[in-house]
């Protein structure tokens, strides 16, 4: 139990370290792109960040025994799906909608399951904030 | 193997791939991506990601 908690803590520290360095170190949007393509470039990065959150939830639910309940995983998948549809529909200026949705998602998760997803939620939040 | 460790091992390639892409420095001689490349990459990322959501939701209907 202690070993698992230690691993969990290590993962959180690793994720927080990475997130702290993302805003300054991330690949910049190539200067030759049109405004539409520049937006698509940034949006692709957000999608891939949100994919990490969704994929972790799905894989955690598939572990034996499951680390996440199917109900929690469904909430994550549905948030992810809605977020992508919002990004695709709005194109630009979706940050507040996604952040609010993320806050609601976390608020509706059981605390133990929320802890497991915390690094990925923080990563998604950092990526969203970076595009403001 | 404890499930949390199994999960960490399972997620590592995806995390490393994401970080490599996020922190990648473009070589000066490397051509910049074109608008078409970027728009196609976005479309692929969006469609494949939504497809995975739909597949999971279809396999786990709410009872």
3-state secondary structure of B33: coil
Spacing of C-alpha A74 from chain mean position = 15
Q: Comparing B31 with B1, which gets the higher pLDDT?
A: B31
Asked if residue A9 has pLDDT above 60, the reply is no
Mean pLDDT of B7-34: 78
- What is the pLDDT averaged over residues B35-63? 96
Q: Are A77 and B52 in contact (CB under 8 A)?
A: no
Query: pTM value?
Result: 0.82
Nearest CB neighbour to A8, from listed B4, B23, B46: B4
Q: Are A125 and A102 in contact (CB under 8 A)?
A: yes
pLDDT of residue B1: 74
Mutate to test the interface with A, among B42, B58, B61 (most CBs of A within 10 A): B42
What pLDDT band is residue A33 in, cutting at 50, 70 and 90?
A: very high
Q: Is the pLDDT of residue B6 over 60?
A: yes
Beta carbon pairs, A and B, within 8 Å: 117
Query: Is pLDDT above 60 for B36?
Result: yes
Residue B55 has pLDDT above 60, yes or no: yes
pLDDT class for A87, splitting at 50, 70, 90? Answer: very high
Number of domains comprising chain B? 1
Residue B42 belongs to what domain range?
Answer: 3-59
| Most confidently predicted of A86-100, B6-20, B22-36 | A86-100
CA nearest neighbour of A84 among B38, B47, B6: B47
């Amino acid at each position: 139990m202690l070993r698992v908690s230690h691993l969990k803590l290590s993962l959180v520290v690793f994720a927080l370290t990475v997130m702290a360095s993302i805003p300054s170190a991330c690949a910049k949007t190539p200067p030759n792109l049109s405004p539409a393509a520049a937006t698509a470039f940034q949006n692709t990065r957000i999608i891939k960040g949100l994919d990490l959150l969704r994929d972790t939830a799905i894989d955690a639910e598939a572990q034996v025994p499951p680390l996440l309940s199917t109900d929690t995983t469904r909430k994550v998948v549905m948030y992810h799906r809605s977020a992508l549809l919002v990004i695709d529909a709005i194109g630009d200026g979706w940050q507040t909608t996604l952040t609010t949705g993320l806050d609601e998602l976390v608020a509706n998760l059981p605390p133990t399951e929320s802890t497991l997803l915390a690094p990925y939620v923080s990563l998604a939040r950092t990526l969203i904030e970076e595009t403001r | 193997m404890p499930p949390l460790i199994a999960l960490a091992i399972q997620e590592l390639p995806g995390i490393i791939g994401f970080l490599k892409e996020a922190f990648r420095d473009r070589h000066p001689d490397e051509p910049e991506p074109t608008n078409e490349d970027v728009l196609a990459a976005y479309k692929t990322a969006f469609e494949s990601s939504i497809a995975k959501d739909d597949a999971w939701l279809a396999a786990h209907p709410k009872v």
